[in-house]
Amino acid sequence: MKMRGIVLVVLGSLSIPMAVMAQDITVEGTVKVGSSPRGIAMTPDGSKSYVPDIGTGSIYVVDNLTRSVKSILAVGGGRGARNPAISPDGRYAVVLAPPDAVVIIDTATDLIAGKIFVPMPPSNVTFSTDGSTMLMYILTATSYNYLSKIDMATFTIVAQIPMPKTILTNGFVLTPDNRYALSTSAWSSDPVNSLTVVDVQTMQMVAQVPVGRTPVSIALSSDGMKAFVANYASSSVSVVDLSLRAVVAELVLPGHPYRVRSSVGGASVWAVCDTNDGLASIDAGTLLFTAMVAIPGITVPKNDILFRNDKRLAVATATEGGTLNLVDVASPALIKSIATGGMTTDIVLSSDGSRACAVDEMNGTVVLAKITGFAENLSDAIVGVLDALRASLASAALNRRQRWLLQDAIEKLEGNRGGRAGSGALDKLEKGDLEAALVKVGQAIGMLMWSSFAGVDTVDMQKRLAEASSVSTEQYIAAKERELGATDAVIAARELLAQGKEALTGGEYFRAVWLFRTAVGAFTE
């Protein structure tokens, strides 16, 4: 059930309105990063950004918390440093350094850990998503193109194959199972206007699927079974079924799409379009164009859109207007547009979605912005934490104890569907038992605390669960007060809620959830 301005969470027979925090985006400050910054990458915790300056060939390491330059690294090999990326585990920042190098930076020390030399000017990179082999894929492009497979343990090329000739290689992704690399071929390619599919295990080209005119970027469905290809000249998006290796739909848009992205959870796909400046929304299930959110000043290929993990908010840049734009994904609608005083281009988001950093190419700065948004209900927070836990379990760096603790936290939140269905917090919420759900959330936070002691940083997950528990508990008590009046149970519950909020503010997340559970239990004693 939905109402304007609130989200309803149904607990048993009670329909409890959950207040929505004001959605806002504000500029916190700017940091000077040379004369011609090109691209930006952020560490997963949002504390640092890496910004190459194409004019000097230097890489600026920006401390996002103090809003200052932490260090400047000289890449060497002349100008042209650009397109930084962060490895999935956050261990390395990778910067392309034409004419023939890829620079690897250790994010722990912010020193250059190595260089990989490639046969042609490097153009795009992506990584294996499971984190176990830490392979990096490089697409190089001039008159002769190659796909190079890099072992990140040794920083060496372990395989390399030729690719279709093209001067446009913006579209380059890896499927979630790490099996196939996809790239677009346009303009000078042979065949022209196609999606190239490479089997990464065998390093063999397995398909070239004809798509629309001038394919420039790719987004994947959440299951990795469909590719959405933005065709700039055709004003369309081709939907490719990767099992059939064929186009199953061609969606015409009211603008020329360049960048295309899947929303968190994969319910929708968004294309950044010029001509009719705006963001085109596509329903990933029905494969239908659903809406156009107008944002003046979009200039492709400069602009982009990224999504917060709450599945509700996104941030987009618009170069000509020099703006950062907060978008409600569900509506969809533009919530707020703020001017930065320059030309905003590339953008990154912190993993918790509270910070956005964008490049201002005109002023040579990084614009740091703060984002506030929806207060999560407990179910959404649990789902978000489960996604993060599963992503963490994909890392080969975990030892047996760390892996066991994270898996146990998952079971406390979701339940063991194979044997003890109904034992998790989500199951308790589905049955309307908030008190029992909070017991399970507290147990999960306990496991996450032990995980932190064992070397896995789970503080953000603990905080997210505790904050959502606070919101659900407060609304539960409010509903009971409306039903019963200011009874002794209501007064006792509010006192426990206040104690829980105090513990939450102090970072005592386990104690906070225990107090919230006790507050809810005051009505059953």
pLDDT band at 462; cut points 50, 70, 90: very high
pLDDT at 504 over 70: yes
pLDDT at 397 over 90: no
pLDDT at 207 over 50: yes
Q: Among residues 110, 94, 71, 62, which one has the least CA distance to residue 368?
A: 62
Q: What is the pLDDT of residue 477?
A: 87
pLDDT at 5 over 90: no
Task: Check if the beta carbon of residue 372 is closer than 8 Å to that of residue 24.
Answer: yes
The residue among 513 and 397 whose pLDDT is bigger is 513
pLDDT at 134 over 70: no
Q: What is the pLDDT of residue 368?
A: 96
pLDDT at 20 over 50: no
pLDDT band at 137; cut points 50, 70, 90: low
Which one of 2-6, 11-15, 236-240 scores highest in mean pLDDT? 236-240
pLDDT band at 192; cut points 50, 70, 90: confident
Question: Dihedral of the CA atoms 461, 463, 469, 473 (nearest 10)?
Answer: 180
Mean pLDDT of 258-262: 94
Q: Among residues 115, 167, 173, which one has the least CA distance to residue 145?
A: 167
Q: What is the pLDDT of residue 242?
A: 98
Q: Among residues 417, 399, 394, 407, which one has the least CA distance to residue 448?
A: 407
Give 92's contacts (C-beta < 8 A, 6+ positions apart): 86, 104, 105, 106, 107, 113, 152
Q: What is the pLDDT of residue 226?
A: 97
pLDDT at 501 over 80: yes
Extract the tokens encoding 472: 């659900």
Number of H helices, E strands in the chain: 7, 35
Task: Check if the beta carbon of residue 175 is closer than 8 Å to that of residue 222.
Answer: no
Three-class DSSP category at 216: strand
Average confidence score pLDDT of the chain: 85
Per DSSP (E only), the strands in 343-411 are: 344-349, 355-360, 365-372
What's the rounded Cα separation, in Å, for the pair 11 and 368?
39
Q: What percent of the chain has pLDDT over 90?
A: 49
pLDDT at 269 over 90: yes
Q: What is the pLDDT of residues 311-327, one digit of tens each?
A: 778 899 988 889 999 99
Mean pLDDT of 406-429: 78
pLDDT at 396 over 80: no
Give Cα 469 distance to the centre of its chain. 23
In terms of DSSP bridges, do strands 365-372 and 24-32 run parallel, antiparallel, or are they unpaired?
antiparallel
Extract the tokens encoding 95: 């910067």
What's the rounded Cα separation, in Å, for the pair 290 and 310?
21
Mean pLDDT of 250-264: 93
- Residue 289, number of CB atoms within 10 A of its CB: 18
Q: What is the pLDDT of residues 276-290, one digit of tens each?
A: 889 999 999 999 999
pLDDT band at 24; cut points 50, 70, 90: confident
pLDDT at 14 over 60: no
Extract the tokens encoding 259: 């960048």
Q: What is the pLDDT of residues 152-174, one digit of tens each?
A: 889 989 998 888 776 555 688 99
What's the rounded Cα separation, in Å, for the pair 310 and 293?
19
Mean pLDDT of 366-370: 94
pLDDT at 273 over 90: yes
What's the rounded Cα separation, in Å, for the pair 182 and 102?
20
Q: What is the pLDDT of residues 82-93, one digit of tens each?
A: 889 998 878 899
Question: Dihedral of the CA atoms 6, 7, 11, 16 (nearest 10)?
Answer: 0
Per DSSP (E only), the strands in 88-151 are: 92-97, 101-106, 111-117, 122-127, 135-140, 145-151
Task: Specify the DSSP class assigned to residue 416.
Answer: B
What's the rounded Cα separation, in Å, for the pair 249 and 429?
38
pLDDT at 476 over 70: yes
Which one of 5-9, 323-327, 456-460 scores highest in mean pLDDT? 323-327
C-alpha distances (whole Å) from 517 to each of 250, 434, 440, 484 are 51, 8, 10, 19
